[in-house]
Amino acid sequence: MISHWPSPAKLNLFLYITGRRADGYHLLQTLFQFLDYGDTLSFRLRSDQKIQLLTPLADLPEEQNLIVRAARLLQQSCTTAAARGVDIWLDKRIPMGGGLGGGSSNAATVLIALNQLWRCGLTDQQLATLGLTLGADVPIFVYGHAAFAEGVGEKLQPANPAEKWYLVAHPGITIATPVIFADPELKRDSPVRSLSCLLASDYRNDCEPIARKRFREVEQLLSWLLQYAPSRLTGTGACVFAEFDSESAARQVLNQAPAWVRGFVARGVNLSPLHRVRAEQLMLRSE
């Protein structure tokens, strides 16, 4: 039997850089929200210990793929999974290298789904601890609720920002995070503020001026979107998004977009679609 699990994208609704540690890591304040849009991962249990990704990604070796790494990590951490394997399929919709969290989301979906399918019985806290070894954003997807992150991204608290509609667009490039953080003109002194203060203020992304300066595609896309709605970079890019109060308003702008714009419309949600599916699966099992 094959089971299907969502792997949602995320947005950084705001991102402020408040300082830099002696080890070079930047101190942040950022707000994560999920989208009701993303990849789908499908699983079929095996009777042996083999873990197979049947839809490999081009130019990404299996040993670097977070889907395979997450499955192997859980297999090693779960006694009930010791004699079991899995076949995995990925239906990829989240643009790679766009700052939408696709790889981290995939890893979290593997941990959540296989924890249930293999009946490992690990808590979300235990899964998040495993996920942190795979990537800094994996725990956010494991916990499955919109979150305010501080420090270097490791201090999380649940948040409930407005669930707006977004037009998310990809400029057709990828941006390596170190390129943004290494720029000498990057703003690194935003004041530390409380979540309530930040939610009541206009949102901004401190990485955006650098992305616009260094990548003309980002500058071109944001300049176009800003004609219609408040628009920002997500994370360190390359994707940008415009916010709307209704789906129809977002789709109207997308429908009149120039031919070079590649994008989609989705709603921001504070409870991850992954956790909704998990709750439904658990309910079905208990009946």
- Enumerate the active-site residues: 10, 137
Q: Do 34 and 13 contact (CB within 8 A), yes or no?
A: no
Length of the chain in terms of residues written: 287
Distances in whole angstroms, Cα of residue 273 to Cα of each of 41, 85, 208: 13, 25, 28
Per the listing, tokens 């490992």 go with 120
Q: Do 72 and 114 contact (CB within 8 A), yes or no?
A: no
Q: Which of 209, 250, 212, 248 is nearest to 228 (CA)?
A: 250
Helix (H, G, I), strand (E, B) or coil at 260: coil
- Ranges assigned E (strand) in the chain: 2-20, 26-46, 51-53, 85-91, 147-151, 155-158, 165-170, 231-233, 240-244, 262-269
